Chain A
Amino acid sequence: MEDRLKNLKKSIEVDRFPLCIEKSRLLTESYKTTEGEPMILRRGKALENVLDNITIFIENDELIVGNAASKPMGLEFDFYAGLWSRDEIEGLKESGYSISADEEAEILEINEYWRGLNPNRRMGQLFDDKVWAFMQSGMLLPPWKSKEEGSGGGYAESGMGLGPGFFLMTVDFEKVLTFGLNKIIKEAEEELKKVKADNSDSQEKTDFLRSVIIAHKAIIRFAHRFADLAEEMAKKESNQTRKKELERIANLCRQVPAKPARTFYEAIQSFWFIFLLTTPSPVASIGRFDQYMYPFYKKDIESGATTDAEVLELLQCLRIKDMQINRTSGTVARQKNAGMAKWHNMTIGGVTPTGKDATNELSYLILDAIKLCPTPHHTVTVRVHEGTPEPLMLKALEVVKIGIGMPAFVGDNSYIGFLLKEGVAPKDARDYAMSGCIDAAIPGKSRIGPYGMFITTKVLEAAMNDGIDPRTGVQLGPKTGAFTSFKSYDDFYNAFKKQLQYFLKLHAAKNNIELQVLAELFPDPVRSSLVDNGIKEGKALLDRTMPFENGAVMNPVGLVNVIDSLAAIKKLVFDEKKVSTEELKAALTANWEGNGYADMRRMFLAAPKYGNNDKEADSIARDVYKLWADTTVQFETRLGGRHKPTGVSISAQWPGGAMTGATPDGRLAGECLADGTVSPMRGMDRRGPTAVINSASKIDQVPYQAALMNMKFHPSALKTTEDLRKLSFLIRTYFSQNGKHIQFNVVNKDTLVDAQQNPERHKDLIVRIAGYSAYFVTLGKPMQNEIIGRTEHEQAA
């Protein structure tokens, strides 16, 4: 067993990721034969062509089968986010991807076909001048280069579904595992019989149901192809153990996902086929895996059909399978989401729909699987409520200790509170799962469409420059007065409000345009049928209203920098009048350089900052977060709901910072913005983690669908069980105050070495050793070396 996992782990370590063209070739081939047909049918047929013909393989030692691309660890070109140019492909080759010359030539040819289906061009047609200026400004990342190219470059991703990928949702896995796809096909066939030709939406429904039937039958055939392959391989296999495994795999793939899963092994295989069809997607959610898999686990354990050791092995295999689903994108978008970012989030713990503690044996085994197989994906989030057993918290924190940033913790109080406020029924609210990073989703009952990264510091700049973007000189927002004309903080804050209102309106317009274009061009019969009432509704995901309608969100990046800037302006410019508006303006334009501006910068750096339980800064934080939430919900979406405020920054704080000049919080031009949503600016939290939590608790997080908090610790703060218990109290206290989320970054040796060499990047790094705590970068070199030595040692232990 150990050998199997060792080999599987090795199989995902590749020097260069192969870029694959088979999937887009098959899609395009089908598209060419279906021109003129309704899009939903074309898509079903295209998927059929892919699943029936794409190269499949079963790798040595694999127990769960179903590959995500036509080559091992490959990424298939995708066109839903835009076209691929020669330059962008060159860019990929330079950053660790490979493609043969022939295939490169072919993909550029396929590219040409997709020009007509280019979503950017279609969106560009719908942008008015104001939205177009907004899209170019980069206030909503990434900035658009042209209406044809969008932000430049499409996506290359693995996964067997149709996409588009950026839907944050959890499909109804439970239904597939329990009833099988045959049942869904049957439902669709029966519904089709009931369609009355004289109904207004009957044609749309007919096309949809036909597409669903085609797609699901194709998925079953896809599984059968694996069954055939496994049988064939079993015949040739000389190793008896592997032979038996392959025969078992063949049986699995004949049973699921067509028919109900009968065992844990069948259930996990069925899950994998369906999950594969919800990708390509960096945000496909695994949902509450410990809940819907539990009946299968329990039955098998009770009957003696399986053991915890076998379950643990399969859970590790699942982690490996998820590492096979990768994604890359054009150069600009690659910056927004650093690395091969993806958020295949598995949710464990929390309460059941009836409000009881949901923790079970699987919750623990899932954490054990991370410890044994600490791959960066899939990620795991622990739902925490008052009755969450302490052993689960301690086990989860044992995993945190490894230093791979997972699991994350989320508070049931705040999430369920949000959903109830949104009018969701209590039993559904209690059943929420993480989608994407940490956004609330209700399995099968909600989906979020395009997800934006809105750079709020650009709004602050507009408010300080009479609506002009100082980076480009373009009059981007309304004229709300020169900064020097403001007589009071309230005057200025009103200008900021007006600018925010204006830009969020444009953001809403862009979201609705994108929702429209995605609905037109990329309906997906698979995911659309695996949601609540999907068959009866008879509509694609973006053509219907969901039980919890959160189809579009607004996500602020750098709001903490805005808050700190407002706090400094209020105190130094308007309350104490130590600096005039003219002087501040000049200092910012000069990027705090020359003319005594360095001293002025120190004053602004020393002004109250969010994250220190400081009354003044925190009350501004509360106001600004409320303003964002209140403004967001004003705007309707074309899906029948309103925009929801959310808060995750991924890595948008870097490009967002690069586009923002010097800010009154003392930040230099181009410097990275604050990360997360309710985390303080790096190095500005001077009073430790409890003060950060006190500050964050003052923001009303309940109206938010997510609010990300990152915290860094040195491993010495998580050494003993007693330390973990204390951290658990810290988490529980935060959640009792309606905090939404917290995750811990346990620093490793490499980070410390980097901090020693590049102190400016690591101003926030706190190390605590033997009760002594200090900012790492302020320590002398011998001390730093000592700590680096210890860190290595403690993490090895």
Chain B
Amino acid sequence: MTGGADTKGVIFNIQHYSIHDGPGIRTTVFLKGCPLRCFWCQNPESQTLEPVIFLNTERCTGCGRCVDVCPERAIQIIEGKSQTDRNLCKGTGKCAEVCPNEARSLMGRTVTAREVFDDINQDAIFYHNSGGGITLSGGDPVAQPDFSISILKLCRDAGIHTAIETCGFARWGILQRILTYVDLVLYDFKHMDSAKHEEYAGVPNDIILENAKKIYHELRLPLLARVPVISGYNDSSENLKKTAAFIANDLGTDIKVHLLPYHRLGETKYERMEEPEKAVSIQPPDDSKMEEIKKIFESNGLTVQIGG
């Protein structure tokens, strides 16, 4: 049943007392699955729908207990450390259950919307006191639309303020269905040049920009623009000017902009996923650079904040 409380989905984290993802004290639910493949992604473990194993090699002692329990026989001990054949691994998480050193952990678990809601609802008193609520993030909530809708509906019924954080890359029909239950949209703008967008994130940006306009003009939903600043990729003044102009002119100057400086927290995650070749090394922008960028947006009449 679409949108029912029993709808199942995959999440990889529920973060309580989330204070940088919308107004008030919030709980952020991180859903698995994302239609984009930004190569600077800071949560690469969130990209696929299926759960994924994290391996912290520093902690692995090569005891081999994971080898014995893996139903897919995907694990081997090589030079005293366990290694996972990622083509075989189905993310059952058996290895993480037996690992005595917390070297292996499973990112992602299947839950029902009701279970997520029960967890969210424990903090109801904090939301009401602070004007907070919940934020669905990810991944991207558009990757699991029915599951997202189910959670949002339950929250709506309980009087909890709802927000989603999305890249906006979805068929309008799907996005619109989700947005029926949303009070605030945190919307990402990664690059204004569609070719570049495709190069860096795997998809062009035309649908994304169109959807933004529809949300603002047709649905008239409150929007909050989130602009990641990735040194050397989207931080040229030309691109940032275009981004600011789009938000101010094609949407409206009442939209608040959050500039999110790139941080390196995601960089070691590819090692944990045993795909070190995908790891990037990008220098985070410094404060003076962020101040400059802030001015570009402000000169378009926008209210800007550095950081989420």
A: which residues have CB within 8 A of B?
598-599, 602, 613, 687-691, 694, 717, 719-720, 722-723, 725-726, 729-730, 732-733, 736-737, 768-774, 778-780, 782-783, 786
Contact indicator B25/A726 (Cβ below 8 Å): yes
- In the complex, how many angstroms separate the beta carbon of B248 from the nearest chain A beta carbon? 23
- In the complex, how many angstroms separate the beta carbon of A712 from the nearest chain B beta carbon? 13
Contact indicator A732/B129 (Cβ below 8 Å): yes
Nearest A residue (CB) for B267: A782
5 A–B contact pairs at CB < 8 A? A690-B25, A725-B130, A729-B25, A733-B125, A786-B264
Kindly state the separation between the CA atoms of A772 and B308 in the bound complex, as whole angstroms: 10
- In the complex, how many angstroms separate the beta carbon of A691 from the nearest chain B beta carbon? 6
Kindly state the separation between the CA atoms of A779 and B284 in the bound complex, as whole angstroms: 18
With contact pairs A598-B100, A770-B308, A771-B20 given, residues A690 and B265 touching in the complex (Cβ less than 8 Å): no
Name which of B10-18, B86-94, B176-184 contacts chain A. B10-18
- In the complex, how many angstroms separate the beta carbon of A781 from the nearest chain B beta carbon? 8
- In the complex, how many angstroms separate the beta carbon of B272 from the nearest chain A beta carbon? 8
Contact indicator A599/B15 (Cβ below 8 Å): no
With contact pairs A690-B123, A786-B263 given, residues A602 and B100 touching in the complex (Cβ less than 8 Å): yes
- In the complex, how many angstroms separate the beta carbon of A286 from the nearest chain B beta carbon? 31
What chain A residues lie within 8 Å of B25 (beta carbons)?
Answer: 690, 726, 729-730
Nearest A residue (CB) for B23: A722
What chain B residues lie within 8 Å of A729 (beta carbons)?
Answer: 24-25, 126, 129-130, 132
- In the complex, how many angstroms separate the beta carbon of A692 from the nearest chain B beta carbon? 9
What chain B residues lie within 8 Å of A771 (beta carbons)?
Answer: 18, 20-21, 28, 308
Nearest B residue (CB) for A724: B19
Contact indicator B267/A690 (Cβ below 8 Å): no
What chain B residues lie within 8 Å of A786 (beta carbons)?
Answer: 263-265, 284
Contact indicator A783/B308 (Cβ below 8 Å): no
Among B58, B100, B125, B271, point to the contact of A599 (Cβ < 8 A).
Answer: B100
Among A691, A726, A783, point to the contact of B24 (Cβ < 8 A).
Answer: A726
Contact indicator A690/B17 (Cβ below 8 Å): yes
Cβ of B307 under 8 Å from chain A: yes
- In the complex, how many angstroms separate the beta carbon of A238 from the nearest chain B beta carbon? 49
What chain B residues lie within 8 Å of A602 (beta carbons)?
Answer: 100
Range class of the B interface residue count: 35 or more
With contact pairs A730-B17, A786-B263 given, residues A772 and B42 touching in the complex (Cβ less than 8 Å): yes
- In the complex, how many angstroms separate the beta carbon of B7 from the nearest chain A beta carbon? 23
- In the complex, how many angstroms separate the beta carbon of A386 from the nearest chain B beta carbon? 11
Contact indicator A783/B268 (Cβ below 8 Å): yes
Contact indicator B21/A689 (Cβ below 8 Å): no
Contact indicator A690/B264 (Cβ below 8 Å): no
With contact pairs A770-B265, A771-B21 given, residues A780 and B271 touching in the complex (Cβ less than 8 Å): yes
Contact indicator A770/B263 (Cβ below 8 Å): yes
Contact indicator B129/A733 (Cβ below 8 Å): yes
Contact indicator B24/A613 (Cβ below 8 Å): no
Give B174-204 interface residues, CB cut-off 8 Å to A. none
Give B26-73 interface residues, CB cut-off 8 Å to A. 27-28, 42-43, 56, 58
Among B24, B56, B307, point to the contact of A719 (Cβ < 8 A).
Answer: B307
B278-308: CB near A (< 8 Å → 1, else 0) gives 0000001000000000000000000001011
Cβ of B2 under 8 Å from chain A: no
B: which residues have CB within 8 A of A?
14-21, 24-25, 27-28, 42-43, 56, 58, 100, 102, 122-123, 125-126, 129-130, 132, 260-261, 263-265, 267-268, 271-272, 284, 305, 307-308
Contact indicator B122/A694 (Cβ below 8 Å): yes
- In the complex, how many angstroms separate the beta carbon of A390 from the nearest chain B beta carbon? 12
Contact indicator A769/B16 (Cβ below 8 Å): no
Kindly state the separation between the CA atoms of A454 and B118 in the bound complex, as whole angstroms: 38
With contact pairs A771-B28, A771-B308, A772-B265 given, residues A613 and B260 touching in the complex (Cβ less than 8 Å): no
Nearest A residue (CB) for B122: A613
Contact indicator B308/A687 (Cβ below 8 Å): no
Kindly state the separation between the CA atoms of A729 and B26 in the bound complex, as whole angstroms: 12
- In the complex, how many angstroms separate the beta carbon of B30 from the nearest chain A beta carbon? 10
Name the residue among A613, A694, A770, A774 with the largest chain B CB count within 10 angstroms. Answer: A770
What chain B residues lie within 8 Å of A772 (beta carbons)?
Answer: 42-43, 263, 265
Contact indicator B126/A730 (Cβ below 8 Å): yes
Name the residue among A598, A688, A774 with the largest chain B CB count within 10 angstroms. Answer: A688
Kindly state the separation between the CA atoms of A602 and B99 in the bound complex, as whole angstroms: 10
- In the complex, how many angstroms separate the beta carbon of B277 from the nearest chain A beta carbon? 17
- In the complex, how many angstroms separate the beta carbon of B205 from the nearest chain A beta carbon? 23
What chain B residues lie within 8 Å of A717 (beta carbons)?
Answer: 19
- In the complex, how many angstroms separate the beta carbon of B131 from the nearest chain A beta carbon? 8
Nearest A residue (CB) for B271: A780
Kindly state the separation between the CA atoms of A303 and B308 in the bound complex, as whole angstroms: 48
Kindly state the separation between the CA atoms of A772 and B264 in the bound complex, as whole angstroms: 11
What chain B residues lie within 8 Å of A780 (beta carbons)?
Answer: 56, 58, 268, 271-272
- In the complex, how many angstroms separate the beta carbon of B112 from the nearest chain A beta carbon? 19
Shortest 4 CB-CB distances between A and B: which pairs? A729-B130, A780-B268, A688-B16, A771-B20
Contact indicator A688/B126 (Cβ below 8 Å): no
- In the complex, how many angstroms separate the beta carbon of B135 from the nearest chain A beta carbon? 9
What chain B residues lie within 8 Å of A726 (beta carbons)?
Answer: 19, 24-25, 130, 132
Kindly state the separation between the CA atoms of A602 and B56 in the bound complex, as whole angstroms: 18
What chain A residues lie within 8 Å of B261 (beta carbons)?
Answer: 770
Contact indicator B267/A783 (Cβ below 8 Å): yes
Contact indicator B265/A694 (Cβ below 8 Å): no
What chain B residues lie within 8 Å of A598 (beta carbons)?
Answer: 100
Contact indicator B264/A782 (Cβ below 8 Å): yes
What chain A residues lie within 8 Å of B16 (beta carbons)?
Answer: 687-691
Among B17, B28, B265, B284, point to the contact of A783 (Cβ < 8 A).
Answer: B265
Kindly state the separation between the CA atoms of A779 and B264 in the bound complex, as whole angstroms: 11
- In the complex, how many angstroms separate the beta carbon of B9 from the nearest chain A beta carbon? 20
- In the complex, how many angstroms separate the beta carbon of B109 from the nearest chain A beta carbon? 14
What chain A residues lie within 8 Å of B102 (beta carbons)?
Answer: 778
Contact indicator B19/A723 (Cβ below 8 Å): yes
Contact indicator B123/A783 (Cβ below 8 Å): no
- In the complex, how many angstroms separate the beta carbon of A763 from the nearest chain B beta carbon? 11
What chain A residues lie within 8 Å of B14 (beta carbons)?
Answer: 687
Nearest A residue (CB) for B284: A786
